[in-house]
Amino acid sequence: MSFFQALEKSSAVELYTYITLLLVCVLLYIFSDYLKVCALAFRLPGPTAYPVIGNCLDIAKKDLISREMSEAYRNYGPLARVWIFVFPMFVVFDPNDLKVILSSKKHTNKSMFYKLLHNFLGRGLITSSGHKWSSHRKLIQPSFNIAILEKFIDTFADSASSLIDKLPKEETVLNVTEYVNNCVIDILNEAVLGAPVKSDKKEMEQSPFRQGKVVAPYRITHPWLLFNSIYKLTDAATAELNQKKQLDDFTRKMIRRRKETLKTLTPSDRRCLLDFMIEISNENPDFTEDDIIDEACTFMLAGQDSVGAAVAFTLFLLARHQDHQQKCYEEIQRHIGAGSSKQPTAESIRELRHLEACIKESLRLYPSVPLMARKIGEAVRVGKYNLPAGTEIMILPYATHRLEHIYPEPEKFDPERFGDGAPHQNPYAFIPFSAGPRNCIGYKFAYIEMKTVIARVLQNFHLSPAPGKEEVQPIFRMTLRARGGLWVKLTPRKTVA
């Protein structure tokens, strides 16, 4: 080899080395935030993670709720880490730390994992972020004014009366979950879509909103399906997209129907949320019919399991705690009256303060949404750690609601925690509907709905524990459920001694 050939080969090696180093530097720069987050994750405690899949399989654990979540703060402290595939997430437990995140408009973006719900819920208030979320929230918020919401009490009462009619007229033991869920769907059909509870129900019984199935947990436990390019090749993706099309087509049909109804609607007629959103669309062209569909699907689907679970858990807990059930019944007698003929009013529902405390304590123990997530918009400090912008945060109301220094004897059902004389509580210690600017827009609607339905049940039935089914086994399916259902013994009031 000549001198010049050697020199040429040496120059080529140096060039390749330079290019390789340059590429490495570029990649390190691109992934620097990810590497920083990973470095922090390795320093923090958390549940045992496995190579590549991380903690993905934990979501299928039978004791995920009852053991892992309830003992998480005790095991890991105020900040923990979990791995979803190769992506680290940080679990924040302490209310003071949660306040920093949830109270700021800089941290309102939802986690990337909410994209897994787009084919189910659409891109409504729950799953959207950025300008779309903020503009939709601003447009829809006036429709959830308390004066408007209280006009739905007749709808709630009609559906509750339909529930009472379906319940056995003799003492019986039953799973209240299915009955309550059907009641809540009836409410949503009228309150959101404008299909009256008392109308012919054949069409609504075949509604695709009764057949919704969330596949997000399945995708997380099969982490290769987190990549849409792979997921879209599966039968599950085809079925989910077909389900979404059915939901969209059905909602579009209901929108057309309400547009015709609005032409002849009188001030005394009942209105639904579709009416308000159609009016919003007429005044704001950027709020399209597709946006109405996304928001309507969000209200219909998110409102079913969350409220249904809360009502069922409250009835179950009142059956186990006769003293609080009696207080609620006496309160109902005072403000509404006893017997099926006494219908609630907005004023009487507002006065049911102990019942509301019981509902809140049920939501503390069994929050309908036990897990939420956010994406940090800018660097924040949590305890002694700095979380960089873009960090994925996980929030576990089920765990935060069991912090012993805030809720002594956290497993005890004690509605007095939320009674009129209860000490001032950190608002970020009780987050069944989240908190801050991204709290649930319909939480007031939900409280009025729950109080009305439970009041009507207690007017007509005495509840007691179902023998052999006094314990509850909570499980996670995006919302909180009870394994095997929630069983109570119902005794019609007229036969109570």
For the chain, give percent helix, strand, coil, nearest 5. Answer: 60, 10, 30
Q: Alpha carbon of 21 to those of 9, 12, 18, 143, 234: distances in Å?
A: 18, 14, 5, 58, 40
- Choose which CATH entry (1.10.630.10, 3.30.365.10, 2.60.40.10, 3.60.15.10) describes domain 44-492: 1.10.630.10
pLDDT recorded at residue 29:
47
Phi then psi for residue 125, to 5 deg, are -60, -30
User: What is residue 481's DSSP assignment?
Assistant: E
Kindly list the distances between the CA atom of residue 185 and the CA atoms of 103, 175, 188, 252, 484, in Å, as whole numbers in the listed order: 32, 17, 5, 18, 21
Greatest Cα pair distance in the chain: 112
Tell me the whole-structure pTM to 2 decimals: 0.90
- Going by the annotation, the residues of the binding site for heme are 440
Residues 6 or more apart in contact with residue 148 via CB below 8 angstroms: none
* Closest-CA residue to 463 (of 374, 344, 350, 358): 358
User: What is the secondary structure of 49-105 as a DSSP string?
Assistant: -BTTTBTGGGGG-TTIIIIIITTHHHHH-SEEEEEETTEEEEEE--HHHHHHHHT-G
For residue 492, with 0-12 CB atoms within 10 Å meaning exposed, 13-18 middle and 19 or more buried, which class applies? Answer: middle
- Write down the pLDDT at residue 485: 93
318 Cβ neighbours under 8 A, 6+ residues apart: 324, 325, 328, 358, 454, 458, 463
Distances, alpha carbon 421 to alpha carbons 314, 354, 415, 418, 448, in Å: 21, 11, 11, 8, 22
Question: What angle, rounded to 10 degrees, do the helices at 130-140 and 273-283 form?
Answer: 110
- Binding annotation: 440
- Count CA atoms closer than 13 A to 325's CA, side-chain side: 20
Could you give the CA distance from residue 297 to residue 261 in angstroms, rounded to a whole number?
Answer: 20
Rg (CA), the chain: 26
In 232-371, where does DSSP find H-type helix? 235-262, 273-283, 289-320, 322-335, 346-350, 353-365
pLDDT at 224: 83
- Local confidence pLDDT in tens for the 497 residues of the chain: 565 555 455 566 565 665 666 555 554 444 567 888 888 899 999 998 888 888 888 887 777 787 788 889 999 999 999 998 888 999 999 999 999 999 988 887 877 777 777 666 778 878 888 888 899 999 999 999 888 888 899 999 999 999 999 999 899 999 999 999 999 999 999 999 998 877 666 767 778 888 767 777 888 888 888 888 888 889 888 888 888 899 999 999 999 999 999 989 888 888 999 999 999 999 999 999 999 999 999 999 888 889 999 999 999 999 999 999 999 999 999 999 876 677 899 999 999 999 999 999 999 999 999 889 898 888 999 888 989 888 999 999 999 999 999 999 999 999 999 988 766 778 899 999 999 999 999 999 999 999 999 999 999 999 999 999 988 989 887 789 899 999 999 999 875 54
